[in-house]
Structure 1
C-alpha cells in the first residue's frame, strides 16, 4: 500500500512526512480493510490570522476496491490535525469493517464486535441483537429506502426528476438561474449523471459519475463528495 503525502499551497517538511508514515500504521489499517490500495494525505494551511486555532488542515483519503473513505480535521498545528483526522479515519474504517462482518454473518453481529446500541439492545449467545424487555420500544419509521428509529436525526426527502440531457454550458446557466451552488444534470456529451458546482471566486467544478462494473456493490447505493 502506498502512502502519498502532499501539500496544497504549502511545503511539507520531511520530518512531518516521516511522522505521517509512523502515525498511520499500515498493519492496523490493512487489518480493518485488506483491500486498501493507496492512502493520500493532503496538508493545507489557512493564512487568515483570525483562524490561527484552525490554521493547519489534514485530509486523509483511503482508496481501495470498495468505497472511498475520507477523514479531515483542522487544528493549530499539523501534528494535532493529523491526530484528529487519524482518529476519525480509524473510527470510519472500523465501522465499515464491522458492517462487512455483519453482512457475512447474514445480519448477525459477531461476538467479537463491540456494539453500542440504544434502547437496551444486547448481544445473545448466537451473536444476534435482542431487545431488553424492560426497555422502552423505539418506534421505527420508513422513509423511502431508509429505516429510521426514533425521531431522527435523519430527515429525508426523496425526489425523482425527469430531465433532458444538456451541455455543461447549459447546466451552468441553469444553476445561475436557480441561484444554487450546485446543479445535477445528465451530460449530453458523456451521457453520465453529472454535477456542476461553484468553487472559490468565479471558478466552477464538474463531477461525472461513471459506474464501475468491477467494483463491489455498496449496500444502500453510491455516494460522493464535492470538493477539490
Structure 2
C-alpha cells in the first residue's frame, strides 16, 4: 500500500508514519491480493484533541473511518479497529455481490470458520422502528429550522427548487451540511 499523509496543526513525524503503516498494514490480511490503492491519512490537532481520518479507495469499495482522542496513538488504534470491523461486517455482503456479478475473485480473503460465524452474528441488523412521513417542498433554510425545532441531527425534505429529495444535517462543528443527489 502507498500512504499519503497530511497533517493539520501537526508535523507528521517518521514515528507517526511508521506506527500508522504498521497498524493499517495489518488490514491486508483480509484481502486476497495486496492492496494497490493509496491510503489517505489525515491527522489533525485542535485544542487537546487529536483526530485521524483514514480513507482507502478501492475499485467498487471505499473504506473510511475517523476517530478523535486525546492520545494520537490511541486514536490510530481506534481507527484501525473501526476499519477492521467495517471490513469484517461487509465482507460477506461484498463477496456475495461480486459472486453475483460473475467476478472470478472475491474482494476479501476467506477467514477462519470462527471469524465467519462472528461476522454472521455482527451482520444481523435489526430495524426496530419504521417512520413514514410526507416530504414537504421547502428550501434548505426552512429544513434546517424544522430540524432544529424537532431536535434532530438530520432532516429529509423535498427541495422546492429542484424537486429532488435532499437531506440537511448538523455537523460536529455545529454548522450544517446539505446532501443532494447527483443529477
Task: With the length of structure 2 as denominator, give the TM-score of the two structures.
Answer: 0.65
Compute the displacement of 1:111 (Å): 7.7
Compute the displacement of 1:62 (Å): 2.8
> 3-state SS of the aligned residue for 1:158?
coil
Q: What pairs with 1:124-203 in structure 2 (closer than 5 Å)?
A: 154-199=126-171, 203=175
For residues 33 and 142 of structure 2, what CA distance do their matches in structure 1 show?
A: 42
State which structure, 1 or 2, has the greater radius of gyration over its C-alpha atoms: 1
**Residue of structure 1 in register with 2:28 after alignment:** 28
Compute the displacement of 1:89 (Å): 1.1
**Residue of structure 2 in register with 1:14 after alignment:** 13
Would the aligned equivalents of 2:44 and 2:50 in 1 still touch at CA under 8 Å? yes
> 3-state SS of the aligned residue for 1:70?
strand
Mapped pair 1:62 → 2:56? yes
After superposition, the CA RMSD in angstroms is 4.0
Where does the alignment leave 5 or more consecutive residues of structure 1 unmatched? Answer: 49-54, 122-146, 212-228
Tell me: higher relative CO, structure 1 or 2? Use CA pairs within 8 A at least 6 residues apart.
2
Compute the displacement of 1:32 (Å): 5.8
For residues 202 and 71 of structure 1, what CA distance do their matches in structure 2 show?
A: 20
For residues 36 and 192 of structure 1, what CA distance do their matches in structure 2 show?
A: 37
- The structure where helix makes up a greater share of residues is 2
**Residue of structure 2 in register with 1:95 after alignment:** 89
* Closer/same/farther in 2, CA of residues 88 and 31 from structure 1, 3 Å limit: same
For residues 38 and 176 of structure 1, what CA distance do their matches in structure 2 show?
A: 39
For residues 177 and 27 of structure 1, what CA distance do their matches in structure 2 show?
A: 43
2:72 to 69, 75, 78: 78
